[in-house]
Amino acid sequence: MKKLIKEKTSFLTDMLEGLTKMNAQIEVIADTVVVRKEKKKQGVAIVSGGGSGHEPAHAGYVADGMLDAAVCGEVFTSPTPDKILSAIKAVDNGDGVLLVVKNYAGDVMNFEMAQEMAEMEDIQVATVIVKDDIAVSDEDKRRGVAGTVLVHKYAGYLADQGENLDNIKEKVEQFISEIKTIGMAITAPMVPTTGQYGFDIESDEIEIGVGIHGEKGLSREKIVPVDQIVERLISELMKEVEAKQLIVMVNGMGATPLSELNIVTKYVNDNLSQRDIEVKHWLVGDYMTALDMQGFSLTFIPYNEAVLTALSEPTESSYFN
């Protein structure tokens, strides 16, 4: 396996140690929990996390204006309840903690257990579940993917505005219901802890509706020019989005060059223009990745001023622009 790692077993801790070098605002506690060095003195604390391999998510978003803590599991593996509890206890300042959880069985179960444990210690905790991946038709089973990063930003903004836990939970759940994402891949991720590719794919094939762990999606198709791939994805999104003004995220899957993300952006803009839809705000880059998978996802949110204000407010994170 050709990867820039020392050994499979130290992937996570080595990565987190490296992350703290450039990002002087954070530190690692309890081995795999990333927190701000300066704990927030008031306001709801926002905690997220999940399996690793999605960098900069989630640890890269521990920063002023976004997360207070990220609980990092091994690659593509849920973090354990005790680590989540450590995070909750480290960041709670008495105003309560919001857990932002992606909709995977292991994550949901372990965050729920941690919430119960924290509540037994009289910490006020609420949970929101992100399920923005429309490639799964059953809404209850939809996976949390790139839109999760927007939830981090939105929730962090509301906390900084001094909103209380109940209000934040309500507003964030409303926001989550409006986030729609679909992804595609041209190559599979090489998983460093197993030395295996996440899936097999032929040299002329793409996977439409892929998840961020290389899970299968809607269909395996032949590669076509990118404007047709964009049309394929947008036609799925348009089954669920009615707004004529959007906020759009073009998210790279980890090994997609920025040049190609920008080319995708051009064709998304062209396609939406033809549909008489205006993009009020763009986010283009690697936000929620799948190791070194090549591909991208599109996230559409109906534009409204309050959301754009929240997303545009500066954050200390180096990875959210």
Catalytic residues: 54, 213
Does 289 participate in binding its own copies (rule CB under 8 A)? yes
Asked whether the beta carbons of 100 and 48 are under 8 A apart, the reply is yes
Q: Which of 199, 261, 302, 308 binds its own copies (CB under 8 A)?
A: 261
- Of 132, 103, 61, give the one whose Cα is nearest residue 311: 61
Instruction: Show the site string, 143-162: x = touches its own copies by CB under 8 A, - = not.
Output: --------------------
Q: How many chain residues touch its own copies (CB under 8 A)?
A: 60
Stretch that binds its own copies, among 10-18, 119-127, 135-143, 209-217 (CB under 8 A): 10-18
User: Using the rule CB under 8 A, is 15 a contact of its own copies?
Assistant: yes
CA distance 38 to 242: 42
| Rounded Cα gap, residues 11 and 291, in angstroms | 12
Site map 184..203 versus its own copies, x via CB under 8 A: --xx---------------x
Q: Which residues from 208-237 bind its own copies, rule CB under 8 A?
A: 223, 225-227, 229
Verify binding: residue 278, its own copies, rule CB under 8 A.
no
Supply the minimum distance, in Å, between the C-beta of residue 166 and its own copies.
34
Stretch that binds its own copies, among 48-56, 93-101, 134-142, 233-241 (CB under 8 A): 48-56
Q: Which is nearer to its own copies, 21 or 239 (CB)?
A: 21
Q: Residue 2 half-sphere exposure, CB side, CA atoms within 13 Å?
A: 0
CB of 42 to its own copies, least distance (A): 27
Compose the 56-85 pattern: x for residues touching its own copies by CB under 8 A, - for all others. x---x-------------------------
Contact call for residue 267 and its own copies (CB under 8 A): yes
